[in-house]
Amino acid sequence: MRNFAKSFAAVAAISALALTSCGREDPGTGNEGGGTGNEAASGGFEEGAAIGVALPQKTSENWVLAEQLFNDGLTEAGYEPDVQFANGGVSEQQNQINSMITNGVEVLIVGAIDGAQLGSQLQQAADAGITVIAYDRLLTNTENVDYYVAYDNFQVGELQGQALLDGMAEKGEGPYNIELFAGSPDDANAQVFFDGAMSVLKPKIDDGTLNVVSGQTEFNQAVTQGWKAENAQRRMDTLLSGNYDSEELHGVLSPNDTLARAILTSVKAAGKEIPIVTGQDSEVESVKSIIAGEQYSTINKDTRDLVEHSITMVEGLAAGEELEVNDDKSYDNGVKVVPAYLLEPQIVTKENAAEAYADDPTLSEIVK
């Protein structure tokens, strides 16, 4: 069983130190509607209503794509989109959300920089009768979030962990030397990715199949502040110089493509043989790297599908409908269990890239 409650506790502890997930709880604390949302959908609203979309910093191609998709999709559906990035940080996102509330948005879709830092803004949204949808990242420590739409992030981690094992097995028998990287501690998803991967990797660490040479096996040892490539590359440089003078590195768990490329840059600069490196997000440069035989894997989480379902939720709210959810028990944000709609991620390696990206107008050209 996935222990998201432990993940949340770890995030909260780290967040208290570093600026600041999900949880299994008694199902009775969650939505009792048996697969529907909560009462936020009961009112409905007019066509042409303003919809606020608060996105984080532009740390990956998928966030940039989401901006375009939300603007185009909401406009086409007959709404007035207000889509903003908070490249200046948490305080900028707080101000942007305040502005959206003042301007009278009917729905607020939030991809948070730090999901624990928006409590007062979300309270204002609730007071104004605005429905709040957490997009991709769970909003934590607040009762004022109505829905969560995302890919199954624990499953993402599981797929990454299995891909790491599969890739190393293709090169030869173990035991294998590996290192672990995690995302930013202020992103609630980072712990969930890591826990999903460790559910696969820890039994192999315990039985000696895997050896984390640095000894850094805990989330708070593996984090990459801000999801910044330079932070991952700096840590990889340190790990290599301190632990791999004569040892061979066989694999690296990377939580996304940006960090995977930074890790590979470090390995190449050190003159080491390229290990198996995982990723996530299907970024163009990483897909090229996979086809070239360098990065081993990524995760396909099609942003088009995630934005499309978010807009479907807006349309349902406009019609006064109860929204479909497919997980109303797992996502404990520390205050409530948030009804969630989860999409299924897909592991991508060189072998299945052509099939995985057949419908992607950009990536399909790269993997021909």
pLDDT tens-place string over residues 94-117: 999 999 999 999 999 999 999 999
CATH number of 153-300+349-366: 3.40.50.2300
Alpha-carbon span 133 to 129, nearest angstrom: 13
pLDDT tens-digit series, residues 11-20:
343 333 333 3
Which residues have C-beta within 8 Å of that of residue 272, sequence separation ≥ 6?
A: 240, 244, 248, 249
* Report field, pTM of the whole predicted structure over 0.75: yes
Q: How far apart are CA 332 and CA 278, in angstroms?
A: 28
Ranges 28-42, 161-175, 328-342: which has the least confidence = 28-42
Mean pLDDT, residues 194-202 taken together: 98
What are the beta bridge partners of residue 33?
none
Residue 216 in this model has a pLDDT that exceeds 80: yes
The band of 148, judged by pLDDT with boundaries at 50, 70 and 90, is: very high
DSSP secondary structure code for residue 350 in this structure: T
pLDDT tens-digit map of 158-177: 999 999 999 999 999 999 99
Among the listed ranges 39-43, 86-90, 223-227, 350-354, which one has the minimum average pLDDT value? 39-43
pLDDT at position 31 is 36
Q: Average pLDDT, stretch 36-60?
A: 78
pLDDT at 342 over 80: yes
The pLDDT of residue 277 is 98
Q: Does the structure show a pLDDT above 70 at 7?
A: no
Q: Do domains 4-152+302-344 and 153-300+349-366 have the same CATH topology?
A: yes
Examine the pLDDT at 222 and tell me if it is beyond 70.
yes
Residue 351 scores a pLDDT above 50: yes
Dmax over Cα atoms in the chain, in whole Å?
67
Looking at the predicted structure, is the pLDDT value of residue 316 above 90? yes
pLDDT score for 88: 87
CATH topology of domain 4-152+302-344: Rossmann fold (3.40.50)
Q: Going along the chain, which residue ranges are E strands?
A: 50-55, 80-85, 107-110, 131-135, 147-151, 176-180, 210-212, 251-253, 276-277, 297-300, 340-343, 346-349
What does the mean pLDDT of the chain come to? 89
Residue 61 is predicted with a pLDDT of 84
**Any idea where the domains of the chain sit in the sequence?**
4-152+302-344, 153-300+349-366
Rounded-to-5 percentages of helix, strand, coil across the chain? 45, 15, 40
Give me the percent of the chain exceeding a pLDDT of 70.
88
